[in-house]
């Protein structure tokens, strides 16, 4: 596999929001594909803007355009995200949905939302995200142990502050727990300040970004429970990784958190209200109840990269063989 850049590197985020400049430059760079030969185009849904030049390229080159769709935001969330101009984002999202020949949704809920938006059922198939089970199994546990661990970007909707509130609340009740927070993002400084204000700095450690996946898996394996406080996830691959590492997961029962669909409440983990109180209650449950992670084995098998690759290869080959997106000659 060879990688070829189509534009210069521009940061994906400006603060907590996606960079418009990055989307524009990458979109223009996609037009360079007109000078190359290939059998199919596979793209990510975000940002939406590049999907329009890719539609043009796919039509000119007579190849299928397959897009992986992580989540459907909808008008309400766009208004929350950008205010009044969020309506333009919602319109762009709707238009972008109709650019691909085939869409790969990460879960059944995302597929349902795409169909509700007017897409034909034949154009949307579900293939979950994959993890490298061999790499996860080989990673040795860390020598440093934590009661709780969070891994992910430090963004507002991830609600890591709720996790800190839960740690503080449990500590005041006499349950002093240690917590690892692995990740980077614009919220880090505020979260570190909150940790200091709550006087839980000795219990919480911020790791930033770890260079090797094995180091992340090692920390997860040496922790008691994985906590994902997020209220918005398109899939939640860290949940699959945590279960594969052999620890249960606590996450929110928020309708926009699709990671909740990966957890069997009270069995492979716990679902809770999206708040510090809700997380604290779920953590209490995890301290007294025993999870049965064998119930996650089928789901983990379906998310193994070897199986995912086979499914995607079949999808691409079917698209090419059926002439999806190909104009009659």
Of the listed ranges 37-41, 201-205, 271-275, the one predicted with least confidence: 37-41
User: In the chain, what percentage of residues exceed pLDDT 90?
Assistant: 77
Q: 133-302, which class in CATH?
A: alpha beta
Reported as a single tens digit per residue, the pLDDT across 58-99 is 999 999 999 999 999 888 878 877 787 788 888 999 999 999
187 CB-contact burial (10 Å; exposed 0-12 / middle 13-18 / buried 19+): buried
Q: What is the reported pLDDT for 224?
A: 97
Going by C-alpha positions, the residue among 201, 199, 159 that lies closest to residue 179 is 201
CATH 3.40.50.2000 in the chain, residue ranges: 13-130+305-321, 133-302
What are the C-alpha distances in Å from 99 to residues 34, 174, 325?
17, 55, 10
Q: What is the reported pLDDT for 320?
A: 63
Q: What is the reported pLDDT for 16?
A: 66
Distance separating alpha carbons of residues 315 and 327, to the nearest angstrom: 19
Buried/exposed code over 66-86 (b: 16+ C-beta within 10 A; e: otherwise): bbbbbbbbeeebbeebeeeeb
Instruction: Specify the 3-state DSSP secondary structure of 49.
Output: coil
Q: 13-130+305-321, which class in CATH?
A: alpha beta
Q: What is the reported pLDDT for 326?
A: 46
Q: What is the reported pLDDT for 321?
A: 61
Residue 286: how many CB atoms within 10 A of its CB?
21
| Average confidence score pLDDT of the chain | 92
What are the C-alpha distances in Å from 320 to residues 87, 264, 311?
35, 38, 14
Q: What is the reported pLDDT for 188?
A: 95
Reported as a single tens digit per residue, the pLDDT across 138-196 is 999 999 999 999 999 999 999 999 999 999 999 999 999 999 999 999 999 999 999 99
Reported as a single tens digit per residue, the pLDDT across 215-274 is 999 999 999 999 999 999 989 999 999 999 999 999 999 999 999 999 999 999 999 999
Q: What is the reported pLDDT for 273?
A: 97
What confidence tier does 315 reach under pLDDT thresholds 50, 70, 90? confident
Going by C-alpha positions, the residue among 167, 240, 182 that lies closest to residue 215 is 182
What confidence tier does 286 reach under pLDDT thresholds 50, 70, 90? very high
Which phi and psi (to 5°) does residue 67 adopt?
Answer: -120, 130
What confidence tier does 319 reach under pLDDT thresholds 50, 70, 90? low
Q: Cβ(127)–Cβ(158) under 8 Å?
A: no
pTM above 0.95, yes or no: no
Q: What is the reported pLDDT for 328?
A: 37
Q: Is the pLDDT of residue 329 over 50?
A: no
Q: Is the pLDDT of residue 105 over 60?
A: yes
């Amino acid at each position: 596999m060879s990688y070829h850049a189509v534009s210069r590197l521009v940061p994906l985020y400006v603060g907590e929001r996606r960079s418009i400049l990055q989307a524009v430059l990458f979109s223009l760079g996609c037009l360079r594909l007109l000078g190359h030969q290939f059998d199919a185009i596979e793209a990510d849904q975000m940002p939406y803007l590049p999907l329009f030049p890719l539609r043009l390229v796919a039509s000119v080159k007579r190849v299928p355009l397959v897009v992986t769709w992580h989540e459907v935001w909808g008008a309400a969330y766009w208004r929350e995200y950008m205010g009044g101009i969020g309506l333009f984002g919602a319109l762009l999202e709707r238009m972008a949905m109709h650019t691909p020949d085939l869409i790969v949704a990460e879960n059944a809920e995302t597929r349902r939302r795409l169909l509700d938006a007017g897409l034909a059922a034949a154009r949307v198939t579900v293939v979950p995200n994959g993890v490298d089970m061999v790499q996860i199994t080989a990673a040795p546990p860390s020598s440093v142990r934590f009661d709780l661990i969070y891994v992910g970007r430090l963004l507002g909707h991830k609600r890591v502050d709720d996790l800190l509130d839960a740690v503080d609340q449990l500590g005041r009740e006499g349950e002093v727990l240690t917590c690892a927070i692995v990740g980077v993002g614009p919220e880090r400084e505020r979260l570190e300040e909150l940790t200091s204000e709550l006087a839980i700095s000795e219990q919480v450690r911020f790791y930033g970004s770890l260079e090797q996946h094995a180091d992340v898996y090692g920390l997860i394996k040496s922790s008691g429970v994985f906590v994902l406080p997020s209220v918005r996830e398109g899939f939640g691959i860290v949940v699959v990784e945590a279960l594969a590492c052999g620890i249960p997961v606590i996450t929110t029962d928020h309708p926009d958190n699709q990671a909740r669909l990966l957890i069997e409440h009270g069995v492979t983990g716990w679902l809770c209200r999206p708040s510090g109180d809700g997380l604290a209650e779920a953590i209490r449950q995890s301290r007294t109840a025993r999870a049965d992670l064998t119930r996650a084995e089928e789901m983990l098998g379906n998310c193994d990269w070897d199986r995912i690759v086979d499914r995607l290869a079949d999808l691409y080959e079917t698209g090419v063989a059926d002439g999806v997106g190909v104009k009659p000659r």
